[in-house]
Amino acid sequence: MQNSGAWRGRVLHFTADPSIAGEQAYQYWEDGLLWVEAGRVKQVGAALDILPNLPPSLSVQHTPDYFIFPGFIDTHIHYPQTEMIAAFGTQLLEWLNTYTFPVESQFKDEAYASEIANFFLKELLRNGTTTALVFGTVHPQSVDAFFKVAQALNLRMIAGKVMMDRHAPAYLTDTPESSYADSKALIERWQGVGRLQYAVTPRFAPTSTPEQLAKAAQLLQEYPGVYLHTHLSENLNEIAWVKELFPNASSYTDVYHQAGLTGKRSVFAHGVHLSSAECECLAQTHSGIAHCPTSNQFLGSGYMDLSQLEHFNIKVGLGTDIGGGTSFSLFRTMASAYEVQQARGRSLDPFKALYLATLGGANVLDLVGKIGNFAVGNEADFILIDPSATPLLKLRSKHCKTLKEQLFVLNTLGDDRCIAATYSMGQLVHQREA
Ligand code: GUN
Ligand code: ZN
């Protein structure tokens, strides 16, 4: 049968948040086996238990040294910013004007957008990321181009057209009406096609009038399955600006909440400087935060307080935030998350970091039961991880005495070189060059 097979190796996945469930949060089989039938998880467990049940004709790929993880989930990334990663010398608002807006203007051209979408999705797969929540540009054709490439690869991807009707160059702005009509047409065209889903995407509060935010909320009401994706509380100058622009809101979060944009499929990137009242609002509405540590450090935005979000029981995932972020790799992002929490006096547990990159991300995207772990019936998106991919990793891994130590070494030193192969619904979509 197509997209069927078995993969034998060191299988690890999460069934709960390690901050809550501790050791019970994960399952690990040193000699494990993942059985995939027609692109979905048929069974996972100890190899010696499952092997006798397998149909004799089924192929079994045995990589005893490799880990088998669920595919990584990136809960916040901009595909049009791929080519401007590593732009020197500015913080958020100046960075947007100097680098971001001019680059995004090129996505008016659908052929150009297709070229970058193609590169971008290959780069995600090279890094073991199988699902992402993705910003397009203001141009609807940027999203058409992206979804066409994602559809051809049968990937589970969520994306949307930027809505932006002020405080940006004229060549990049829409209007409340045109952004509503363009987003609606894209939803009609793409929502639920294959594994694709749509995110209503106002860029952030400063670049949308209250009228446009109301149009975004109208779309969420008309199409309950779609997402809301935006930025929140990233940079102190940004927050001061939002206060000026929305004097009637009690906080930045309240701008979105009053507009009707919070909810269980609402994902807010950053949340670096949130008050307790904002956290309460996010928790009560089941909204999620995409934590983007490489971006927060690169743009000098600040150090997000993960413990505060946990205290309020807010859903959190990891985001690379390319091109504000500095790497497509969720391993590099975990390393950065560790450094950010160290600066706050907390040592981020490697189990927790891996949870954030897999099941935590699925939770933020309201996709638990579809992706994020190896629950029976889930879509079989998974990666083979080589913990000895470089001479240094090989040497360091040899000295690991526990699973936790090995995972921490991977989190800290790992990158795209560790991704030996990436599978989407049981189909090979990336294989590392020999
Ligand atoms: N806030 C508004 N737009 C952006 C963007 O493109 N990147 C980041 N990091 N923050 C933003
Ligand atoms: Zn962003």
Question: 341-360: per-residue pLDDT in tens?
Answer: 999 999 999 999 999 999 99
pTM for this model (two decimals): 0.98
Residue 227 shares a structural domain with residue 313: yes
At residue 434, the pLDDT reads 82
Residue 305 shares a structural domain with residue 344: yes
Which atom belonging to ligand 1 lies closest to the Cα atom of 295?
9
**Ligand 1 midpoint to CA 352 (Å):** 26
Assess whether pLDDT exceeds 70 at residue 206: yes
Q: Using an 8 Å Cβ cutoff, are 359 and 74 in contact?
A: no
Q: Give Cα separations from 337 to 34, 82, 119, 333, 359 (angstroms).
A: 29, 21, 26, 6, 17
**Ligand 2 midpoint to CA 75 (Å):** 10
Residue 63 shares a structural domain with residue 76: no
Residue 20 shares a structural domain with residue 127: no
Residue 39 shares a structural domain with residue 79: no
Average confidence (pLDDT) over 5-21: 98
Residue 397 shares a structural domain with residue 353: no
Q: State if residue 204 touches ligand 1 by the CB under 6 angstroms criterion.
A: yes
**Ligand 1 midpoint to CA 3 (Å):** 38
* Sequence-distant (≥ 6) Cβ neighbours of residue 259 within 8 angstroms: 210, 213, 214, 216, 217
Mutate to test the pocket of ligand 1, among 74, 91, 96 (most ligand atoms within 8 A of CB): 96
Task: Encode pLDDT of 100-142 as tens digits.
Answer: 999 999 999 999 999 999 999 999 999 999 999 999 999 999 9
In this structure, which ligand is nearest to the CA of 203?
1
Last residue of a domain, one of 364, 390, 406: 364
Collapsed DSSP state (helix, strand, coil) of residue 61: strand
Last residue of a domain, one of 341, 364, 387: 364
* Sequence-distant (≥ 6) Cβ neighbours of residue 284 within 8 angstroms: none
Mutate to test the pocket of ligand 1, among 100, 207, 292 (most ligand atoms within 8 A of CB): 100
Q: Give Cα separations from 352 to 158, 316, 360 (angstroms).
A: 24, 11, 9
**Ligand 1 midpoint to CA 230 (Å):** 9
Can you tell me the distance from the alpha carbon of 71 to that of 174, in angstroms, rounded to the nearest whole number?
Answer: 35
Residue 214: CATH number of its domain: 3.20.20.140
Last residue of a domain, one of 317, 333, 364: 364
| Number of separate domains in the chain | 2
Residue 245 lies in a domain: yes
Could you count the other beta carbons within 10 Å of the beta carbon of residue 270? 30
Average pLDDT, rounded, for the chain: 98
Task: Encode pLDDT of 143-191 as tens digits.
Answer: 999 999 999 999 999 999 999 999 999 999 999 999 999 999 999 999 9
Q: Using an 8 Å Cβ cutoff, are 147 and 193 in contact?
A: yes
**Ligand 1 midpoint to CA 387 (Å):** 33
Residue 259 shares a structural domain with residue 389: no
Residue 237 shares a structural domain with residue 340: yes
**Ligand 2 midpoint to CA 138 (Å):** 14
Residue 369 lies in a domain: no
Residue 100 shares a structural domain with residue 22: no
Q: State if residue 100 touches ligand 1 by the CB under 6 angstroms criterion.
A: yes
Residue 383 shares a structural domain with residue 251: no
Residue 405 lies in a domain: yes
Task: Encode pLDDT of 363-384 as tens digits.
Answer: 999 999 999 999 999 999 999 9
Q: State if residue 228 touches ligand 1 by the CB under 6 angstroms criterion.
A: no
Position of tokens 């993969």? 7
Structure tokens at 42: 């048929």
Angle between helix axes 252-259 and 236-245 (nearest 10 degrees) is 50
Q: State if residue 231 touches ligand 1 by the CB under 6 angstroms criterion.
A: yes
Residue 95 shares a structural domain with residue 182: yes
Residue 161 shares a structural domain with residue 56: no
Range of 10's domain?
5-70+374-431
